[in-house]
Structure 1
Amino acid sequence: MDNLIGKQIDQYQIEALLGEGGMGAVYLAQDVNLARPVALKIMHRQYASQPEFQERFLQEAQASARLNHPNIVAIYNFSSTQSYLTIVMEYVRGLSLGAYIKQLAQRRQVMELSESLNIIAQVADALGYAHRQGVVHRDIKPDNIMITQLEQPSRPDELPIRAKVTDFGLAKLLEGGIETQSGTFMGTLPYMSPEQALASASLDGRSDIYSLGVVLYQLATGRLPFDIKTPTDAVMKHMHETPPLPRHIQPGLPMAVQNVIIKALAKQPEDRYQTAESFAAALRRATSGLTEKDVTIFATAAEEEMVS
């Protein structure tokens, strides 16, 4: 990626690099017309020059721009020029959940159980809304969940934090449009659902529920349910292996929370929560049943397990 710091694309003055991945980079930029900060997602040139990729990128922008929810990063604009493909997004002041987990691990701290359940419930809220709009995310993982602090909770029974889902780049509109090529892995291996691992063409929102269940397992136990390094690992383990029970790893985990995790990680979609809304409701019921003793036991037992 070119050094774009200090340059201007359209009305966006680029100020800093926020992150970079295999397909492109995200920059902090200033919208000089509206005098507000934005996140500018710019694709690598090798992708930007491909007409098929441009078309799929436009699909991503259109799918994401339809979504208007407090727990989803807003899309402001899309631009396609000879040199750049860009999506202009809401700038979220905070860390990705992945970065937050790593920060806690470096400090030898753990996330409180109530905080983990709160974050996952908010992500489930976002996914429930997206699924009703006909959009499946397909790549739910900690790095695609942003965490920002609030002055006060958005709900009286929750903490003053907000989770925001970003990067619907692998989203597929259920009603049609350009689809990903069959047989291609779309997602991140440790978090993909069994049906994703099989490259099924008929994914629905229950695939995202499984992926979010993997994130919850990771937050609750300090480790992923499976050690997955290759696509073959993903198929075999997501399809056929049963992960260790969360309470075998973290004995202080309340049974109600373990039950939620197990249901979200069911191999067959029909055995999981059928909607993200029902997943969120189950998480909030489990949270409301926590006692101070539950959280203390969990935190004490989790001190030896660094989340990665």
Structure 2
Amino acid sequence: MYIINNYRFQTFKCESNLHKSNYAVLINAAGKGIKYAPYADFSGEYNVLKKLNHKQIPKVYDVGHGDLYKDERFLIKQNFIVLQHIDGEDILEYFREKDVEKVKVINEVVKMFLTVCDPLIYLHAMKYIHCDIKPGHLICNRETGLGHIIDFELAIKHGEVLRGISREYASPEQFRILDYLRSQKGDHGEDGLPSSMQLDGRTDLYSIGLLFYETLTKKKWQKGMDLPHKINKNISQKLEEIIMGLLEEDVSNRISSAEKLEKMLRSI
């Protein structure tokens, strides 16, 4: 039995892929989980989530730091955040054992990504950008058929400076901003980034495109890779146009909003 500040759980391990932090389902608080790490600061994520209210974005309940005990024996000090537990699998795991070359499964993939448009529309309307959409942060629930967006550690308000990236699922503009910030000296506040380099919701859409491509081809997208239908012959031309529209390196040519993506997916 483990305990942090009266929050009790059974396992001390990372339960979610690609997480820097450990995560456990609480046994004394139904429907809640705790994310914890000795050096992470969860206050930013807490401040973002407490301003959001969407069924496909986890609710947040508490944040702080405390001593981690195992069977009443002190182990280490931890920072933590208590969240709504989202039951399911990450998007790649969800479709891993399915034959994505079957039209029926392709339709399932399209429907799952369609469900993700609504929380993205909401998030972007609230002037937030997730900035870290990747497999472990897009959770699919088999019972409801909905995709949930989790882990807002790197989320920013429009105009704020990038907090970090996950290199495999970051957009080209995130890399450019990171290079710019590294080239500058001193600290950067909200005014430290040129307006031409500030992010918007299209950054999240690029990451969605990476996941869409990988889910349907079981290969990671890189510039110069085969078009989706070259790998999965049953991907339609219209669906391929949507995926490649998400993967446009030039932001101005990319699908412009989650609302537009939703409309395009509904059309097929």
Shift of 1:42: 0.2
1:194 aligns with 2:194: no
Closer, same or farther: CA 222–19 of 1 in aligned 2, 3 Å: closer
Task: State how 1:212-291 maps to structure 2 within 5 Å.
Answer: 212-226=208-222, 241-286=223-268
1:229 counterpart residue number: none
Q: Which residue identity does 1:269 align to in structure 2?
A: V
Q: Amino acid of the residue matched to residue 24 of structure 1?
A: S
User: 1:113–1:220: 8 Å Cα contact kept in structure 2?
Assistant: yes
CA–CA distance in 2 between the matches of 1:71 and 1:22?
A: 19
Are positions 1:144 and 2:137 aligned together?
Answer: yes
Separation of aligned partners in 2, 1:15 and 1:214: 35
1:1-308 to 2 correspondences below 5 Å: 6-16=1-11, 17=13, 18-19=15-16, 23-30=20-27, 32=28, 35-43=29-37, 45=38, 47-48=39-40, 54=41, 57-81=42-66, 83-102=77-96, 104=97, 109-110=99-100, 112-150=105-143, 160-174=144-158, 176=160, 179-180=161-162, 186-199=164-177, 201=193, 202-226=198-222, 241-286=223-268
Q: CA offset at residue 7 of structure 1?
A: 2.1
Mark the runs of 5 or more structure 1 residues left unpaired by the alignment. Answer: 1-5, 49-53, 151-159, 227-240, 287-308
- What SS does the corresponding residue of 1:199 show, helix, strand or coil? helix
* C-alpha separation in 1, matches of 2:2 and 2:147: 31
Q: How many residues align?
A: 236
Separation in 1 of the partners of 2:262 and 2:240?
A: 15
Structure 1 residue 99, shift from structure 2 partner:
2.8
Give percent identity, aligned residues only: 25
SS of residue paired to 2:235: coil
Distance (Å, rounded) in 2 between the aligned partners of 1:39 and 1:19: 12
Deviation at 1:242, TM superposition (A): 4.2
Tell me the TM-score normalised to structure 1 length. 0.70
CA shift in 2, pair 1:10/1:37, >3 Å: farther
Question: Secondary structure, in 3 states, of the residue corresponding to 1:36?
Answer: coil
- Map Cα deviations across residues 236-258 of structure 1 (whole Å, 9 max, x no partner): xxxxx344221122222111111
> In 1, are the aligned partners of 2:116 and 2:146 still within 8 Å (CA)?
no
Q: Give the SS at the match of 1:207.
A: helix
Could you tell me how far apart the structure 2 residues matched to 1:23 and 1:244 are?
A: 32
Looking at structure 2, the residues matched to 84 and 285 of structure 1 have their Cα atoms a distance apart, in angstroms, of 48
Deviation at 1:135, TM superposition (A): 1.3
Change (3 A) 1:28 1:203: same
Runs of 4+ in 1 over 4 A off after TM superposition: none
1:187 offset after TM fit, Å?
Answer: 2.4
| Residues 221 and 246, structure 1, Cα contact 8 Å, conserved in 2 | yes
Offset at residue 37 of structure 1 (A): 3.4
Is the contact made by 2:169 and 2:210 (CA closer than 8 Å) also made in structure 1? yes
Q: Following TM superposition, by how much is the alpha carbon of 1:180 offset from its aligned partner in structure 2, in angstroms? A: 4.3
Q: Classify the secondary structure of the residue corresponding to 1:198.
A: helix
Question: Deviations 1:266-295 (Å, cap 9, x if unpaired)?
Answer: 111111121112112211211xxxxxxxxx
- TM-score with structure 2 setting the length: 0.80
Is 192-201 or 264-273 further displaced after alignment? Answer: 192-201
Give yes or no for contact 2:18–2:136 (8 Å, CA) kept in 1. no
